[in-house]
Amino acid sequence: MRVFLSGPMGVGKSTVARRVAQRLGLRAVDLDAHIEAKAGCSIPEIFARHGEPTFRAWEHELATALVDEDDVVVALGGGTVTDARTRRVLLAAGVLVTLDAPLETLMARVGEGSGRPLLEGDAAARLRTVLDARRAAYAECHARVDATGDVERIADAVVAWVREEPVAVPLGERSYAVEIAAGCRSRLEARTANHPARVLVADRNTAIYLPASVSERDAVVVLEPGEEHKDVRAVERIWDGGLSLGGDRNACVVAIGGGVVGDLAGFGAATLLRGVGFGQVPTSLLAMVDSSVGGKTGFDRPEGKNLVGAFHQPRFVLCDVETLRTLPVEERIAGLAEVVKSAWLEGEADVAALEQDAEALRSGDEEATERAIRRSVRTKARVVAEDEREAGARMCLNLGHTVGHAIEAAAGFGGLRHGEAVALGMVASFRIATRLGDSDAVAEARLIALLARLGLPTDLERHLDAHALSFVATDKKRAGARVRFVVPGAPGAYRIVPLGIDEVGRMLTSGSP
């Protein structure tokens, strides 16, 4: 276990680190003290003798070295996370918590800034400048904790976050955490407390998870369930719900449901008054591991799936695994297709873990399911942070989607579940990969065996025909007569290959390129 406490000078990182370490039975480490020991002098003297660049280099070296140590709570320096390389290493290695406090509180603690090189001169003005410059860096964390008041309460809040292990989606000031825990949907009121108006969007099946108390600040929109209703008429209902609240741009749209509800609510939020806040409370496994994270929103057209949409990141995601208890077995199992996809993209360790948990996942074991959700979300968060708008690396998340979406569209968006179509799409991807020499029969058989153990369909021929293949031509990743196809290899290996649309059809039906 590794815990990293960040935040501005004067926020109390060292004191809180000691309390958190006591509660968790870990060792407290003060990074500034480590740097002073290395330099043989105080931090003000380091700045005076060597300059800030040298100090930052030592800070990066010692902070990243701490990720190799187990069972530590590290109080970082106020500027440690301003280095993007350091920040990303810490995010991947443990739980990074930002401690927050108002400027007035910080000034009361640092006084005139004596012994703090960055506050020389007008301490208040300099601190305000520092906070503004670091706002995006401090936002990239697993959790934020109010560090005013009793230190025991602050430590308790940090410990609660550490034990839950939220997944961070680091996107500067638009960063957010994916909270994965039984009962976490109860936090909706807290997550929307700063929004004067809410549009609560569910469908008839997920309306049971709407808040028990709905006030005059809320507009409730209950949609018809199913992909066949994922159209602009549903979006219009969300727009109208928001406008009925008076047209306040501080409003928030909250999706409470599966992927269809999330995509529609997200697009509604992206376009209502040119963009309002958005939150996700996914209630299906598929939505938890895929559509609720990453900011893709949209709706279908007769020509294909999700052909009209926008990127609009949520401000929070609450994955309450309790909601999966009421999910039909077939829906839950269909969601496992995206879990397989993420595991194969991540690498051998994730695939092996999924194979070990296969029977437990198929039967609905909650501990195995929570592990799978967390692994999948971590993979997606890593990819989204690297390529938010699918200009390059994020295209890998379309593994199985090109043919899967085509099969789904051919079935009329109602005859086949999305996850089932993606499973068939992955089978198709491996068939093409084998034809191209990127994979072999062993890897293809391993993928098919894993899908089958999880209860997912693998009978590609039953669903693939000329009608289904015709929908490949409407794929969003198409460029002219070619489509950017995710070609998998061994776990963790893949490449994006531009293939002719006719070429895809020939490789899938005739067995030759």
Catalytically active residues are: 274, 296, 338, 380, 390, 394, 398, 401, 405, 418
DSSP-derived secondary structure letter, 226: S
Contact 261, 288 (CB under 8 A): no
Angstrom CA distances, 253 to 263, 276, 278, 419, 492, stand at 12, 7, 5, 26, 36
- Tell me how far the alpha carbon of residue 204 is from its chain's centroid: 26
d(CA 347, CA 393): 16
Query: How many of the other CB atoms lie within 10 Å of CB of 254?
Result: 28
Three-state DSSP class for 141?
coil
> Where is 72: in which H helix or E strand?
strand 72-75
Up-side HSE of residue 500: CA atoms within 13 Å toward CB?
A: 5
DSSP state of 291: I
CA separation for the pair 181, 185 (Å, rounded): 9
Task: Indicate the DSSP class of residue 184.
Answer: G
Q: Which of 419, 392, 399 is nearest to 489 (CA)?
A: 399
The DSSP secondary-structure symbol of 225 reads: P
CA 308 to chain centre: 22
- Terminal Cα distance for the chain, rounded: 49
Q: Which residues contact 454 (CB under 8 A, 6 or more apart)?
A: 333, 336, 340, 358, 361, 362
